[in-house]
Structure 1
Amino acid sequence: MINLALILILSYLVGAIPTAIIASRILIHDDIRKYGSHNAGATNVFRVLGWKPALVVLLIDMGKGALATLVIARMHIEPIPINPQLISLLAGFFAIIGHVWTVFAGFKGGKGVGTAFGVCLGILPLPTLFAFGTWLLCMLLTRIVSLSSIISALAFPVLVWIQKSVLHRDTPDFLFWMSVGLGVFIVFTHRSNLKRLFRGEEKPLKFRKGAEK
């Protein structure tokens, strides 16, 4: 079990790399959390620094999740008597936890959506791609990133269930329950956004560059 502990710790540390904060330190020599929505995520980087840095941040955040599930989870010094998919799932979960509560930035990171996408793409590619399609459709209709993320996160377990029960593709029960838990987790990380949504104060994404204090 020492091997498993090392996998989870390394996954957390990789997930905890504060990509958005690093980008803002390089580009404006300041902490992205002082601007815009005060969140260390790709959406706030888009609002403050523009689409190019945001795209880089998003891809790296996704890569952190994929790295945990596809590479770190398979770095076994000795055999681990656990389902390999479950090991990948646990590694991915710890990467998401690291992104949201990063030890490198006072445990105040991003919302976890990009990293979760990378994790899920490595474990459940088909439902993940359809969830992305859901996100994209919501974005086209509303231009509100948080709402699109919440809806796609809630749609994800439904899509996993369809893969398992309708398409009859090999999908262990724990992956379905993971998708449920992940949906709840993403809603939890967006709780401040939900409050603004209910008050009608959540801002749609504007496709222009400009720092927001």
Structure 2
Amino acid sequence: MTDPLRWLAIGFAGYLIGSLPFAVWVGRVAARKDVREAGSGHAGATNVMRQAGWLAGLVTLALDGSKGVMAVLLAHWAGGPWAIPLAAGMAVAGHCWPVLAGFRGGMGMATAAGAVLAAHPLALVMAVGVGAACNLGLRHTARANLLTGLLIGPILVVAGVPSLAAQIAIAVGAVVALRGLSDWDRVYRELWLDRDPPIPRQG
């Protein structure tokens, strides 16, 4: 297989792995409903936890994280180091916009974390710290995810983690930031553009 075809095959395989809608499946088993129709509307562990309980949420978190791990391991076996960031980024894209679930997925954080974990556990600890700081500072999920995605790669590079872990962080961070940006735009529209006009005061 030529290199361009191998790139396409590995990227597509990573996307399909990421597209496995574990949150939707777990929600249907544990709560007998599509978790995307309530709460945040996302197919992710946090929304599953809200709709179906903490155990279902933890199961979803582990399964979503495993998608990132599987994508990294597959790319390592099939293509070598050059293919790993590609597969990791595509797995996160698959989680966010899954072809197997009508392109309505989650925010990509767990799958991104799994990919970073597979490369370097300490890098994951740093990434979680960045995400926690962004969430505590902003207290707005979409903005925090956007900022985390933008910062995680540069911070890990400066911290001196192995280059492969930094490359994965940059790849998955870009997708997480893009997903956060799209969700931020959705929330903005729901809050400001799609509201009913105010009722005029009488008298």
Once the two structures are overlaid, the 10-residue window that deviates more, 154-163 or 57-66, is 154-163
Contact 1:88 1:123 in 2 (8 A): no
Question: Aligned-pair distance for 1:69?
Answer: 0.2
Structure with more contact order per residue of length (Cα contacts < 8 Å, sep ≥ 6): 1
Question: Aligned-pair distance for 1:102?
Answer: 1.0
Distance (Å, rounded) in 2 between the aligned partners of 1:16 and 1:139:
26
Question: Aligned-pair distance for 1:126?
Answer: 3.0
Cα-to-partner distance string for 1:151-186 (whole Å, 9 max, x where unaligned): 43333123222134xxxx6526xx756644543432
Match of 1:73 among 72, 75, 95: 75
Higher relative helix content:
2
Once the two structures are overlaid, the 10-residue window that deviates more, 3-12 or 99-108, is 3-12
Question: Aligned-pair distance for 1:63?
Answer: 0.6
Distance (Å, rounded) in 1 between the aligned partners of 2:173 and 2:7:
25
Contact 1:36 1:47 in 2 (8 A): yes
Matching of residue 130 in structure 1 with residue 120 in structure 2: no
In structure 2, the partner of 1:45 is 48
Distance (Å, rounded) in 1 between the aligned partners of 2:106 and 2:148:
17
Match of 1:93 among 89, 99, 104: 89
Q: CA 1:102–1:197 in 2, change beyond 3 Å: closer, same or farther?
A: closer
SS of equivalent to 1:36: coil
Contact 2:146 2:181 in 1 (8 A): no
Q: CA 1:43–1:145 in 2, change beyond 3 Å: closer, same or farther?
A: farther
Q: CA 1:143–1:56 in 2, change beyond 3 Å: closer, same or farther?
A: farther
Cα-to-partner distance string for 1:176-207 (whole Å, 9 max, x where unaligned): 566445434322212355358879x7xxxxxx
Distance (Å, rounded) in 1 between the aligned partners of 2:139 and 2:59:
20
Q: CA 1:96–1:196 in 2, change beyond 3 Å: closer, same or farther?
A: closer
TM-score w.r.t. the length of structure 2 is 0.76
Match of 1:152 among 148, 151, 154: 148
Task: Report the aligned-residue RMSD.
Answer: 2.9
Distance (Å, rounded) in 2 between the aligned partners of 1:133 and 1:114:
14
Number of residue pairs the alignment of both structures matches: 187
Question: Aligned-pair distance for 1:7?
Answer: 3.0
Match of 2:18 among 15, 21, 39: 15
Q: Which amino acid aligns with 1:186?
A: V
In structure 2, the partner of 1:185 is 175
TM-score w.r.t. the length of structure 1 is 0.73
In structure 1, the partner of 2:197 is none
Contact 1:43 1:145 in 2 (8 A): no
Distance (Å, rounded) in 2 between the aligned partners of 1:121 and 1:137:
19
Distance (Å, rounded) in 1 between the aligned partners of 2:123 and 2:187:
26
Contact 2:89 2:175 in 1 (8 A): no
Contact 2:93 2:175 in 1 (8 A): no
Contact 2:71 2:115 in 1 (8 A): yes
Q: CA 1:40–1:170 in 2, change beyond 3 Å: closer, same or farther?
A: closer
Cα-to-partner distance string for 1:99-144 (whole Å, 9 max, x where unaligned): 1111111111111111111112223443331120232345567765
In structure 2, the partner of 1:54 is 57
